[in-house]
């Protein structure tokens, strides 16, 4: 029995790998619920995509997806240091999310503060 990862994107990747030569036209495309969502500006660098996958699945704790993305990242030339950085960044961002939600920080105040930071940084970039 094959256990598929819980992540829809990874499931799609495994589906694509296992069905490169579909037996019928119906199997040529994966079911709609596991098709990947395309970003407005797609990430063209495969190594970056896999490093993002490592960070995401380190947090979701899906060992299948973490293994898949780690090995894929290595195939695309990622170093151990880059993989470690991806995991540390995931830990860092999730930690702040846990803190802000756990402390029940006011979302509207937070959104205003983020906007002020953004405006400040944009003003410095224009100089």
Domains (ranges, CATH) in the chain? 38-126 (1.20.1290)
Each residue's pLDDT tens digit, 82-94: 999 999 999 999 9
pLDDT of 5 > 60? The answer is: no
What angle separates helix 46-60 from helix 63-75, to the nearest 10 degrees? 160
pTM of the predicted structure, to 2 decimals: 0.58
CA 59 to chain centroid, in Å, comes to 10
């Amino acid at each position: 029995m094959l256990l598929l990862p819980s992540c829809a994107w990874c499931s799609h990747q495994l589906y694509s790998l296992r069905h490169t030569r579909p037996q019928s036209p119906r199997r040529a495309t994966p079911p709609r619920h596991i098709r990947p969502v395309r970003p407005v500006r797609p990430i063209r660098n495969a190594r970056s995509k896999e490093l993002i996958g490592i960070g995401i699945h380190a947090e979701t704790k899906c060992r299948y997806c973490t293994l898949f993305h780690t090995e894929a990242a290595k195939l695309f030339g990622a170093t151990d240091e880059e993989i470690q950085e991806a995991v540390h960044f995931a830990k860092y961002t999730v930690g702040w999310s846990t803190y802000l939600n756990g402390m029940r920080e006011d979302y509207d105040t937070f959104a205003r503060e983020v906007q002020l930071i953004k405006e400040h940084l944009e003003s410095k970039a224009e100089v």
